[in-house]
A and B are shown apart, each in its own frame.
Chain A
């Protein structure tokens, strides 16, 4: 069945460091890939989505790319700030699928 694997459970960076979070997915169809961000005490909210048509998305300084060859998708940001500290979830919806599947989340802590 469809699955999403997010290996990095926790990442600690200093301000202005480069962020890179990776997810891998498995599906037989054509997926749409999502990144959600969850700030402390809140529900997750959409950060980015990427389709197989465009391969890339960007928002709020974050960029998401998708690699069909390795069935992986990445979230990156050139220079993180303390306000970026949050939990980041990748998610996938197969084209004809009924719902999204989420990874296990990456907790990002940015220290000043």
Chain B
């Protein structure tokens, strides 16, 4: 049973449209993270959360919002999608702390036309 799931797995959006990517975890971890993965850039952190109701900016938050309505769910929102946001997005959960192992979901492939 996958502990971190993402939906949708694939998404095609139009420029200027709103996109919501969803993540659910059953690890009961406090921390959750959203990354994008691009060739030559690796994994870059967009937003993260310490728990329900909390969202924090990562290294590349511009153009993205995040929402953490519960311990289990963490969403990434693109209010006005642009072609530069075409990427693969990964959600992860972790316990936090110095030895924080992150558990990743399978990823969402987003294409913005």
Cβ-Cβ contact count across A and B, 8 Å cutoff: 56
Q: What is the number of residues of chain A that contact chain B, defined by CB distance less than 8 Å?
A: 24
Per DSSP, are chain B's interface residues mostly helix, strand or loop, or mixed?
strand
Say whether B58 contacts A99, CB under 8 Å: yes
Among residues 54 to 110 in chain B, which have CB atoms less than 8 Å away from a CB atom of chain A? Answer: 56, 58-59, 90, 92, 98-107
Q: Which single residue of chain A is at the shortest CB-CB distance from B48?
A: A99
Say whether B43 contacts A42, CB under 8 Å: no
Say whether A89 contacts B42, CB under 8 Å: yes
How many angstroms from the CA of A43 to the CA of B35 in the assembled complex?
Answer: 11
Residues in A whose Cβ lies below 8 Å from that of B42: 6, 89, 102-105
- Option from A45, A46, A99 in Cβ contact (under 8 Å) with B33: A99
Say whether B101 contacts A93, CB under 8 Å: no
How many angstroms from the CA of A99 to the CA of B40 in the assembled complex?
Answer: 21
Residues in A whose Cβ lies below 8 Å from that of B45: 99, 101
Say whether B4 faces chain A, with CB atoms less than 8 Å apart. yes
- Option from A43, A95, A98 in Cβ contact (under 8 Å) with B4: A43
> Least Cβ distance of B32 to chain A in Å?
11
Residues in B whose Cβ lies below 8 Å from that of A6: 42
Residues in A whose Cβ lies below 8 Å from that of B4: 43
Query: Given A104-B40, A105-B43, list of 5 further CB < 8 A pairs?
Result: A6-B42, A41-B106, A43-B107, A93-B100, A103-B42
A residues lining the B interface (CB < 8 Å): 6, 9, 32, 34, 36, 41-46, 49, 51, 89, 93, 95, 98-105
Can you list 11 A-B contacts with CB-CB less than 8 angstroms, sorted by A residue number? A6-B42, A43-B4, A43-B92, A44-B104, A46-B101, A93-B98, A98-B48, A98-B56, A100-B100, A101-B59, A102-B42
